[in-house]
Amino acid sequence: MEIKVLKDILSANSQIAEQNRKLLASKRIMTINLMSSPGSGKTTLILRTVEELKSKARIAVIEGDVSSSIDAEKLNRAGIAAIQINTGGACHLDASMVNSALPNLDLDDIDILFIENVGNLICPGGFDLGESLRVVILSTPEGDDKPHKYPLLFTQANALVVNKTDLLPHVWFDLEAFTRVFKGLNQQAALFAVSGLTGDGIEEWGKWVMANLNKRRTLNPAE
């Protein structure tokens, strides 16, 4: 006997993601799912963003890694509330991992929650975590051909941050050509060129983050 199913294989994950989204919205937290290859500068971008926005917003971080708590410790040392999720081998975070991590954060004391996904340009794209925004980082040494190699992540992004612009003179990365290709694929996304090393471009990125937070606050005013 044949039974029609017509259900998304990841529907269980999507349901938990919706629970996360509701909980975070009820606390008026804007959540950013930060995705990139390993080593492209996710943790550094978070450190820079906190520095840039510390007088304007309370920021906390969920760190996803296959193993170790190096990143969370680095953020804690900088005075940032950060908790570590170890996926134990899984190449991406999923909604239930975030769901288990949320009770360990003081949700009444957060405006912006960064979720630093496992470094990987493929797998995280399939898993909704309940985030408000998806941001992808691409660092210039990775090359400007990545949107076509890993289209899912790039087409889903609300913003793309090109990091390590200080290395542009030394690597094969044509920022202008890249911008045309990326904007062709994803018209809605904002695009930023920054250097985590020098802080160049961080101000503009920080303004975008704050504009999004304020937009959400206006749409969802305090009760």
Edge-to-edge strand list for the sheet holding 30-35: 81-86, 59-65, 112-116, 30-35, 133-139, 159-163, 190-193
Helix (H, G, I), strand (E, B) or coil at 220: coil
59 phi and psi angles, rounded to 5 deg: -120, 135
Q: Which is nearer to other proteins, 13 or 158 (CB)?
A: 13
Member of 9, 77, 169, 221 binding other proteins (CB under 8 A): 9
Q: Which of 49, 84, 120, 139 binds other proteins (CB under 8 A)?
A: 120
Shortest Å distance, C-beta 82 to other proteins: 24
Kindly state whether residue 66 participates in binding other proteins, applying the rule CB under 8 A. Answer: no
Rounded to the nearest 10 degrees, the angle between the axes of helix 42-53 and helix 70-77 is 20
CB of 140 to other proteins, least distance (A): 20
Within 19-38, the residues that bind other proteins by CB under 8 A are none
Among residues 26, 51, 70, 152, which is the contact residue for other proteins, using CB under 8 A? 152
Cβ–Cβ contacts within 10 Å for residue 62, how many?
26
Minimum Å gap between C-beta 84 and other proteins is: 20
Q: Minimum CB separation from other proteins for residue 11, in Å?
A: 7
Longest Cα–Cα distance in the chain = 64
Tell which one of 52, 94, 111, 142 touches other proteins (CB under 8 A): 94
Candidates 19-27, 69-77, 87-95, 98-106; binding stretch for other proteins (CB under 8 A): 87-95
Cα→Cα distances 212→11, 93, 124, 196, 207, Å: 28, 24, 22, 21, 9
The alpha carbon torsion through 102, 105, 107, 111 (nearest 10 deg) reads -100
- Binding to other proteins in span 169-188, by CB under 8 A: 180-181, 183-185, 187
DSSP classification of residue 40: S
**Residue 148 binds other proteins (CB under 8 A):** yes
C-alpha R_g of the chain: 17
126 binds other proteins (CB under 8 A): yes
Smallest separation, CB 124 to other proteins (Å)? 8
Three-class SS of residue 65? strand
CB of 187 to other proteins, least distance (A): 8
Residues that bind other proteins (CB under 8 A): 1-13, 90-92, 94, 120, 122-123, 125-127, 147-148, 150-152, 155, 180-181, 183-185, 187
